[in-house]
Structure 1
Amino acid sequence: MNATLPAALDDIKTDFTELGLKDRLQLLLEFSNELPALPTHYAEHPDLLERVEECQSPVFIFVDVDDSRTVHLYATAPAESPTTRGFASILVQGLAGLSVDEVLAVPDDYPSDLGLTEAVSPLRIRGMTAMLGRIKRQVVKKAAA
């Protein structure tokens, strides 16, 4: 396990890197189908979500940090954009419930470590990297509030 990588993200990385290219894409598709639905509060108030402008598809994220400094992460991405939706799902599933410090310690290049650079465009990898960057920025902002 990577010292700075939380267990869930490390497991996801291992799952991807142990597969062949075609199976990695299938796993990404499976993640896209597993993106948790937004809680009603956020679904009814899309203005609370931040658009990830770097993504070609409309991706929106929202980070909440509770009193125990635990991170709660929500995201939405269109079903017709399975790659982007899969990336959002990986981050939601891999970062949810972590502490502020654990989220901020995730390497910024984590998306490049999934072994998908040969399968998806560099633009899409940059989109996932931008999602992670925005999540971290929101975590810092919310933790300081």
Structure 2
Amino acid sequence: MSSPAPTPLPPSLAEIAEDFSSASNDLKLQLLLEFSDELPGLPERYAGHLDQLERVDECQSPLFLTVEVEDGTSLDDRPVHLFFDAPAEAPTTRGFAGILHEGLDGLTAAEVLAVPDDAPMRFGLAEAVSPLRMRGMVAMLARIKRQVRAKTAA
């Protein structure tokens, strides 16, 4: 009896996972730095207001995030927007946030909630960074999904 196929990633995240999975460890770290550099800053409504964001304590560096979900009639037509704050001195943490931002921002609530919990492990990053750091990325995804559930549960 074969095991079931893993739940697919959304195309935007699957493309990023493919890039990382096919890269050497050195290249994975370089890609992570690129995602760190590309992480957008907070919009003005959140700048200086970290109390409006949720801290992800599992991250080794201070990381804060929040999710906004647009109005719609169902989870299939409610786009999700992600916002992160992480210090420039924390490129790994910022890189994880950048991957999640690039792969999930703009997807619908239904698509975000369907992302498998093991998605961060599909990038092959566990070979290049410590398990403690991977725990931070897994926690970021869990917080994002929890916030989407909370903001769509009306």
TM-score normalised to the size of structure 1?
A: 0.95
Aligned counterparts of 2:60 and 2:50: Cα–Cα separation in 1? 19
How much has 1:45 moved relative to structure 2?
A: 2.2
Structure 2 spans left out of the alignment, 5+ residues: 1-5, 73-77
Aligned counterparts of 2:135 and 2:7: Cα–Cα separation in 1? 24
Aligned counterparts of 1:88 and 1:52: Cα–Cα separation in 2? 11
Whose Rg is larger?
2
Secondary structure of 2:67's counterpart equals: strand
CA RMSD of aligned residues (A): 1.2
Q: Which segment is superposed worse, 40-49 or 86-95?
A: 40-49
Which aligned segments of 4 or more residues in structure 1 are displaced greater than 3 angstroms?
none
Secondary structure of 1:15's counterpart equals: helix
Q: Which residues in structure 2 correspond to 1:4-43 (within 5 Å)?
A: 4-43=8-47
1:104 alignment partner, one of 92, 113, 120: 113
Q: Which residues in structure 2 correspond to 1:10-89 (within 5 Å)?
A: 10-68=14-72, 69-89=78-98
**Count of aligned pairs between the two proteins:** 144
Structure 1 spans left out of the alignment, 5+ residues: none
Alignment deviations for residues 45-69 of structure 1 (CA, whole Å, 9 cap, x no partner): 2211000011111000000111031
Overall identity of the aligned pairs, in %:
62
How much has 1:116 moved relative to structure 2?
A: 1.0
Aligned counterparts of 2:70 and 2:8: Cα–Cα separation in 1? 22
TM-score normalised to the size of structure 2?
A: 0.90
